[in-house]
Amino acid sequence: MTQASDWQGGVGRAWAEEWQRTDRTFAQLTPALLAAIAAQPGATVLDIGCGAGELSLALAAARPQAHVRGVDVSADLVAAAQRRAAGLGQVRFELGDAGAWADPAYRPDLLVSRHGVMFFADPPAAFRNLAAAAAPDARLVFSCFRHPAENGWASAMAGLVPKPASPPDPHAPGPFAFADPDHVRAMLAGWQDVTFQPHDFHYIAGEGDDAQDQALALFRRIGPAASALRQAAEAARPGIEQGLRAVIAAHHRDGQVSFPAAAWIVTATKALGDHG
């Protein structure tokens, strides 16, 4: 389970310091998400869990007349996004919990997120709050991972992660909390006309002459192997790293380390009668 406190601490710091690598892992997803967003109207945009800002910046470039605001709980990620947006007056990044966010002076008519919505502690309350904060007829477009078995970057490393004493809650905040469409529909309080578009892509962990070293540097800090390394006793870490190196080598082909990945691109419209 990944909680807001994790993003406010070491997890957020790691993602902020590795933003170039994490943007690359989503390089084959982001264009599909942007295409889905492009089909929706909107000139006042809210990026939920904006991370280091790649989606916000792409939207600002695609909609020069739009105002774009990104919100994230990680001060490190917000700082990274602000540095990337230096000199762009139409983009603003702020520290805050998007699930509790509201600004009467800024009523977004388009709400977006790239994998930033699966970490809400109380998703129905968060989405209800976002609907209340949004303009009438606002649109929502976000991406989220499908089942872990469809995401090779996670399933390939399952053997490196200690098995929990009891089966984990599949809907607990974390990367796969929104894998089940029926569950997502139930969580989207205040939203209607929900659609799911599957998108399969390659999760690129490294490329070029040092692709395996790049992938190792990424997975030491981000993902299930990084969590296992942080939590393991010192004596167990060499074994985990050896296993990680083997997984990376097995997925190294043609100068690239990549893993199969699977996402939903979800769209919805603010529910009629929900005027905030």
* Tens of pLDDT, residue by residue, the chain (276 residues): 455 556 676 778 888 988 999 999 999 999 999 999 999 999 999 999 999 999 999 999 999 999 999 999 999 999 999 999 998 899 999 999 999 999 999 999 999 999 999 999 999 999 999 999 999 999 999 999 999 999 998 899 888 877 766 777 889 999 999 999 999 999 999 999 999 999 999 999 999 999 999 999 999 998 888 888 888 888 889 999 999 999 999 999 999 999 999 999 999 999 987 655
**Strand 110-114, strand 191-207: pairing:** unpaired
Helices 211-219 and 237-250, interaxial angle, to 10°? 140
- Beta strands 191-207 and 139-145: pairing type? unpaired
| C-alpha distances in Å from residue 81, one per residue of 12, 102, 192, 247 | 12, 20, 31, 31
- Identify the bridge partners of residue 110 per DSSP, sorted by sequence position: 45, 139
Closest CA to 81 of 107, 47, 43, 35: 47
> Per CATH, is 4-149+169-203+262-270 categorized as 3.10.105.10?
no
As a whole number of angstroms, the distance between CA 37 and CA 45 comes to 11
Q: Which residues contact 147 (CB under 8 A, 6 or more apart)?
A: 176, 179, 180, 262
Domain boundaries of the chain, sorted by first residue? 4-149+169-203+262-270
- Tens of pLDDT, residue by residue over 160-204, are 877 766 777 889 999 999 999 999 999 999 999 999 999 999 999
